[in-house]
Amino acid sequence: MKTNNKKQSVFVILLLLLFIVAVPSAMADITGSAHDFSAESWTVDNQICVVCHTPHSGDTASNAPLWNHATTTATFTLYSSSTMNATVSQPGGRSKLCLSCHDGTVALDSFGGNTGGTTISGGALLSTDLGNDHPISITYDSALATADGELSDPSSALSGLGGTIEADMLFSSSMMECSSCHDVHNSAGVPALLVKANTGSDLCLTCHIK
């Protein structure tokens, strides 16, 4: 009986430790992430959100609320492959928001109606050539999963984020975009602003059956 109690309290302590370790990642946010622009000379009053959103006079037509950043008008080179079943189209509005900084054609500080001069560089510069990047702006539905044979059915397979792939990772019911894999606000607190960690290719294996 005594040893059993001891075992139980060790178990409770382990659980508590797990909780303490797990909480900081649940509280992760944009502060300190690659999208924390507060230390940049080109933002206004050390603000983070203003580069992308504004409380007033925002662009309500966009795919993000109260959008404040100039949008790219580039035509992109798309991913193409003979083994792919999906049809790739020019980036949809939601992915265009990302490409408005990441394609390098629009300055980071082109927001609030101003035209800036600082463009993105390094690994984060994807350019207008998306031919070597994971396809986006594709319809990923049950029919595609059946046609492909090696994709989970997004309407029933779980994402690991609380619901199905369709509910948690797709937009306008079945569109795959940059935000299918990325969380622009770093809510998950995992590297590369991903929606979930890619340890052991977990992210990839959410959709791909390999």
Binding residues vs ligand HEC (CB under 6 A): 30, 34-35, 48-49, 51-53, 64-65, 69, 81, 83-86, 94-95, 97-102, 108, 120, 122-124, 126, 134-136, 138, 140, 144, 148, 151, 165, 169, 176, 178-182, 184-185, 192-194, 198, 203-204, 206-208
In this complex, which beta carbon is closest to ligand HEC, that of residue 8 or of residue 195?
195
The span from the CA of 185 to the CA of 195, in Å, is: 10
In this complex, which beta carbon is closest to ligand HEC, that of residue 4 or of residue 80?
80
Please list the residues that pair with 69 across neighbouring strands: 111
Degrees, nearest 5: CA angle 181-183-189: 110
In this complex, which beta carbon is closest to ligand HEC, that of residue 8 or of residue 114?
114
List, as one string, the DSSP characters of 101-155.
Answer: HHTSSS-TT-BTT--------GGG---SB-TTS---SEE--HHHHHHHSSB--TT
Cβ neighbours of 78 (radius 10 Å):
18
Length of the chain in residues, anyone?
Answer: 210
In this complex, which beta carbon is closest to ligand HEC, that of residue 148 or of residue 153?
148
In this complex, which beta carbon is closest to ligand HEC, that of residue 9 or of residue 121?
121
The span from the CA of 100 to the CA of 185, in Å, is: 16
Least gap, CB of 52 to ligand HEC (angstroms): 3
DSSP letter for 69, please. Answer: B
DSSP letter for 175, please. Answer: E
Which residue type is seen at 44? V
Least gap, CB of 113 to ligand HEC (angstroms): 14
In this complex, which beta carbon is closest to ligand HEC, that of residue 18 or of residue 204?
204
Least gap, CB of 158 to ligand HEC (angstroms): 12
Least gap, CB of 22 to ligand HEC (angstroms): 21
Least gap, CB of 5 to ligand HEC (angstroms): 45
Least gap, CB of 64 to ligand HEC (angstroms): 3
CA distances from 198 to 2, 34, 48, 203 (A): 42, 18, 26, 5
